[in-house]
Amino acid sequence: MYDFDMLGLAPELNTALKTAGLTEPTPIQNKAIPLALEGHDVMGLAQTGTGKTLAFGLPLIQHLLDMPGKPAEKTVKALILAPTRELVNQIAESLRGLTKGTKLRVVTVVGGQSIGKQISLLSRGTDILVATPGRLIDLMERRALDLSTARHLVLDEADQMLDMGFIHALRKIAPHLGTPRQTMLFSATMPKQMEEISAAYLTNPRRVQVAPPGKAADKVTQSVHHVAKNDKSAKLREILADDPHALTLVFSRTKHGAERLMKGLVSDGFNAASIHGNKSQGQRDRALKAFRDGETNILVATDVAARGIDIPGVAYVVNYDLPEVADNYVHRIGRTARAGREGEAISLCAPEEASLLRDIEKVMKITVPVASGTAPAHEQAQAPKKRNGGPNRRRRKPSNGGNGQANANAGGQNQGAGKPRRQRRRNRAA
């Protein structure tokens, strides 16, 4: 295990790390940073909330500090691609904290903002460009930037970008990048197409992995309520009322559903906001800031937020609708239990969603403990075999005949399931 000060980083980087109170790397950082500093292409596989940004950010900044000269007009030295506006902004914020006190310039380009202002920013040249693929292609078509000088490429949360047509975007972007270059790819899951991307765009990559793909953070306690679709609204309000001041992230499948759900909660007296694709970037930024600052304690979101929220204080993730892509479940529940804290992921499963739950359990290689209700009989027969026995901690005693017992997740994924709620709440606040 390395300490950061053992890595031979520039004094400015060591100062920034100490200012942030960071002394020891996380497991993914410990494995990836030395390889990246040596110049290897890296494929990093790790669950959300494990510090992937620093895993690629520190070596990237170190390499740029070792490169003399300022970027020429419209040129870029390093490109980072991420799937959502929120994640782009989050990455840039972290990198700006690390580059403080240096001459390195970090610029972001995302949709939903003035492309004219972005063209103006890029005209000066930039050391690190963090971008969503769609807006980057728009700017390339306007000849607003020159990527031929980019000697570093980072693909962050690449698995989600696959779901958004990322391969087609990468095919347009990659030929314009400089060579030779270092490419780093980071992901929480490993679909088959990721191997194809690695073979096409990485050169002899070193693969580092600190958790099996599809595994959630160990301190996330998971549970599912089997309820009729029309009863989900009442069950959600019951869950929210049980810990009314906790930061809770609620996931809805559609934009219209998220907005309708948020407005219903507000009308019932809950302090809620929403973010989804129909919101402007300014609206999304304000909603996230209010949630991060605790001014709003309930945030209703679509999967656009699954990768862009890094808020250690999120106590609960509620899957109001189960995701149609099982891997997205991993990313959703990874919004809680961050920075070593505990958290809880609660899913509401209607009978027509039972197959989605089965897909999730197959990907996770677990059986999600049942907090209340009963799965449809034909789904019970097909459910994955339970791994380990143990009591399931519930929010409250089930009122609809739930069996009150369920198996804990394999690999310690429901650690602390038997702890009293008040004790667990204190642990989260620590």
Domains of the chain in sequence order: 4-209 (3.40.50.300), 220-429 (3.40.50.300)
For residues 214-234, average pLDDT:
85
Query: Assign residue 280 a region: left if phi > 0, alpha if psi is -120 to 50, beta otherwise?
Result: beta
* Residue 181 Cα distances to 156, 194, 246, angstroms: 16, 19, 45
Position with higher pLDDT, 384 vs 20:
20
Please answer whether residues 407 and 429 qualify as being in contact, where contact means their C-beta atoms are separated by less than 8 angstroms: no
- Average pLDDT score, the chain: 84
pLDDT digits (tens, 9 = 90+) for 389-399: 343 444 443 43
The pLDDT of residue 383:
43
Q: How far apart are CA 322 and CA 324, in angstroms?
A: 6
The pLDDT of residue 360:
94
pLDDT digits (tens, 9 = 90+) for 50-89: 788 999 999 999 999 998 889 999 999 999 999 888 889 9
For residues 310-318, average pLDDT:
87
For residues 324-349, average pLDDT:
85
Element of type H or E holding 423: helix 421-429
First to last CA, the chain: 25
Q: Helix (H, G, I), strand (E, B), or coil: what is residue 205?
A: coil
* Residue 245 Cα distances to 271, 294, 332, 396, angstroms: 9, 9, 20, 17
128, with CB counted inside 10 A (0-12, 13-18, 19+), is: buried
For residues 296-304, average pLDDT:
92
Q: How far apart are CA 242 and CA 233, in angstroms?
A: 14
The pLDDT of residue 407:
38
Overall pTM surpassing 0.75 (yes/no): no
Identify which of 48, 156, 86 has the alpha carbon closest to the alpha carbon of residue 309: 86
Q: What is the CA radius of gyration of the chain?
A: 22
Element of type H or E holding 183: strand 182-187
Q: Which residue has the tokens 């699954």?
A: 306
In the structure, what pLDDT confidence band is assigned to residue 104 with cuts at 50, 70 and 90? very high
Instruction: Report the range of poorest mean pLDDT among 14-23, 105-114, 271-280, 393-402.
Output: 393-402
Q: How far apart are CA 183 and CA 250, in angstroms?
A: 35
Q: In what order do the strands lie in the sheet with 152-156?
A: 106-109, 126-131, 76-81, 152-156, 182-187, 42-45, 206-209
Q: How far apart are CA 272 and CA 135, in angstroms?
A: 30
Residue 254 pLDDT exceeds 80: yes
Q: How far apart are CA 262 and CA 245, in angstroms?
A: 16
